[in-house]
Amino acid sequence: MIEFINQLDIDILLWLNGNHNEFWDGVMWFATGKFTWVPFYLLLTLLLIWKYKKDSILMILLIVLLITVSDQLASGLFKPLFERLRPSHNPGLAGELHFVNGYKGGRFGFVSSHAANVFSLAFYLTLVARNKLKWIPFLLIPWAIFVSISRVYLGVHYPTDIIVPAILSIPIAWTTARIYKLYNPVFIKKIT
């Protein structure tokens, strides 16, 4: 079963990475950029402040905690623990991958920090903001999928590198949302 999953991982990676062209190279490079989404995050923050007023303070502070936890689990725990080479560093795939702008990422790739962070944020805001922003899951979940797929397209992650953190982000987002729902009334009383 493990061999089947590993082979499927490689097959999907090679298919997605192998169907590259100049247009998609640009789109996927943009999607994976470190600072690409800063305006999006700022707009999202302003939207939360506008819709939730004082209730947005703890909501936004918990986003910082959420991203810190998901990022540290991915980069600080999983990558060093599993030491699974990224496809871009796998000698068995040398010469088979297309790299955009020569980008190959760090040595280890399981699990994707990009995927962990964007899925954690998408699930968390879906849980805490959907009452006033009903459309939020329809924007953030496809966005998280898009950012995560860009990592496979670029040849720096296998599909399981993005699927596993997507699944692991659910309990992280749920716990953070639970903290928000339990402590926001207390927090609001203390700041007013």
Q: Could you tell me if 58 and 64 are in contact, meaning their C-beta atoms sit under 8 angstroms apart?
A: no
Region 41-70: what's the mean pLDDT? Answer: 95
- The share of the chain scoring above pLDDT 70, in percent, equals 96
Return the SS3 of 127. helix
CA–CA separation, 114 vs 99, rounded Å?
Answer: 18
Residue type, 27: V
The amino acid sitting at 88 is S
Kindly indicate the confidence band of residue 185, based on its pLDDT and cuts at 50, 70 and 90.
confident
Domain that holds residue 41: 2-191
* Separation CA 175–CA 161 (nearest Å): 22
Distance of alpha carbon 145 from alpha carbon 159, whole angstroms = 11
* Alpha-carbon gap, residue 86 to 170, rounded angstroms: 24
pLDDT digit string, tens, across residues 13-27: 999 999 999 999 999
Number of domains in the chain: 1
